[in-house]
C-alpha cells in the first residue's frame, strides 16, 4: 500500500514541474530532463526517477537517471522459521544512459546500465540465488517518446536485472512522466 506522504510528495513534484513548464515554453527551448514514475525496472515494483542529459541544451546523447522506489518480498521469519513474512524494501536505482534519435523527433531509443541499492537482501522473483545482496545491476533498452519542447513523456522496454552471482532476471518497465 502506498503511503499518503509518498502520494503527496509526488503530487507536489508534478505540480512544480507543470508550473515551471509554462515559464519554459519559449521558442528554441529543448526539454532535456524528465521526471517519471516507472513500473518494473530497477526499482523492482515502482520508482520515481529523474532522467537528464549531461549537455544542457541537448535531448540526445549521454545522460543519467536516479530514483527512489520500493518493492515487497518474502523474508525469513526468525521467530517462526516455518512461515516467511512479506516486508517492504526500498531501492535507489542510478545509472548512465545514451539516447539515440533525431533532434527534432520525439521518438527515441535509450540504452543504459547501472546499479540499484536495496534496503534489504532480496531474492528476486522468490528464486533462490547463490548469493543475496543489497546491490543489483541492470541494463535498459527503452523506446521513448519525449516531446522536444517538453510535456507528457512515455517509456517502455526491457530492463534485465543482474544479480550479484551473475544471475540474469528478465524484467520489463513502463514509465510515464513529464519532460521539462
Confidence of residue 21 (pLDDT cuts 50, 70, 90): very low
- Would the pLDDT of 1 be above 60? no
Give the residue, 60 or 126, on which the prediction is more confident: 60
Cα separation, 88 vs 147, in Å, equals: 35
- Would the pLDDT of 41 be above 70? yes
Instruction: Give the mean pLDDT of 40-52.
Output: 93
Strands (DSSP E) along 18-118, which ranges?
Answer: 33-40, 46-53, 61-75, 85-100, 107-118
Residue pair 147/177 in contact by the 8 Å Cβ criterion: no
Residue pair 180/35 in contact by the 8 Å Cβ criterion: yes
| Segment 122-180, tens digit of pLDDT | 666 655 555 567 888 999 999 999 999 999 999 999 999 988 777 888 999 999 999 99
Q: Which CATH architecture has domain 4-179?
A: Beta Barrel (2.40)
Q: Where are the domains of the chain?
A: 4-179
State the pLDDT at residue 51. Answer: 97
| Segment 66-124, tens digit of pLDDT | 999 988 876 666 777 677 777 888 999 999 999 999 999 999 999 999 999 988 876 66
- The residues that bridge with 153 in the sheet, in sequence order, are 177
State the pLDDT at residue 164. Answer: 72
Cα separation, 143 vs 21, in Å, equals: 23
Give the residue, 95 or 27, on which the prediction is more confident: 95
Going from the C-alpha of 109 to that of each of 100, 145, 157, 158, the distances in angstroms are: 5, 9, 10, 12
User: Backbone phi, then psi, for 149, in 5-degree steps?
Assistant: -95, 10
- Would the pLDDT of 22 be above 50? no
Amino acid at each position: 500500500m502506498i503511503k499518503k506522504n509518498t502520494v503527496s510528495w509526488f503530487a507536489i513534484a508534478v505540480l512544480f514541474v507543470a508550473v515551471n513548464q509554462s515559464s519554459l515554453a519559449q521558442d528554441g527551448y529543448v526539454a532535456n530532463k524528465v521526471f517519471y514514475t516507472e513500473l518494473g525496472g530497477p526499482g523492482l515494483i515502482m520508482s520515481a526517477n529523474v532522467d537528464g542529459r549531461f549537455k544542457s541544451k541537448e535531448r540526445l546523447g549521454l545522460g543519467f537517471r536516479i530514483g527512489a522506489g520500493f518493492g515487497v518480498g518474502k523474508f525469513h521469519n526468525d521467530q517462526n522459521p516455518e512461515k516467511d513474512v512479506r516486508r517492504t524494501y526500498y531501492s535507489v536505482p542510478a545509472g548512465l544512459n545514451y539516447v539515440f534519435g533525431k533532434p527534432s523527433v520525439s521518438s527515441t531509443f535509450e540504452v543504459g546500465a547501472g546499479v540499484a541499492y536495496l534496503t534489504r537482501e532480496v531474492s528476486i522473483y522468490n528464486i533462490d540465488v547463490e548469493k543475496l545482496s543489497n546491490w543489483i545491476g541492470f541494463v535498459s533498452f527503452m523506446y521513448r517518446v519525449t516531446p522536444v519542447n517538453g510535456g507528457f513523456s512515455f517509456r517502455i522496454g526491457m530492463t534485465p536485472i543482474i544479480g550479484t552471482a551473475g544471475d540474469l532476471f528478465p524484467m520489463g518497465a513502463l514509465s510515464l512522466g513529464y519532460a521539462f
